Amino acid sequence: MTAPVLYLSHGAPPLADDATWTRQLAEWSSTLERPRNILMISAHWENAPVTVSSTSGAPLTYDFWGFPRKYYEVTYDAPAAPELAASVAGVLSGQGGPVMQDPHRGLDHGAYVPLVEMFPAADIPVLQVSMPTLDPQQLFAMGQRLAPLRDEGTLIVGSGFTTHNLRWFNPSQGPDYAAPTESAEFDAWAAEHVSAGNVDALLDWEHRAPAPGIAHPRAEHWAPLYVALGAASVKGSPAGQTAIDGFWYGLSKRSWTFS
pLDDT in tens, 205-217: 999 999 999 999 9
Query: What's the CATH code of the domain at 204?
Result: 3.40.830.10
Angle of CA points 205, 208, 214, to nearest 5°:
70
pLDDT in tens, 102-155: 999 999 999 999 999 999 999 999 999 999 999 999 999 999 999 999 999 999
Residue-by-residue DSSP string for 189-205: HHHHHHHHT-HHHHHTH
Tell me which amino acid residue 40 is. M
| DSSP assignment letter at 135 | -
The domain in which residue 22 lies consists of 5-258
The pTM score is: 0.97
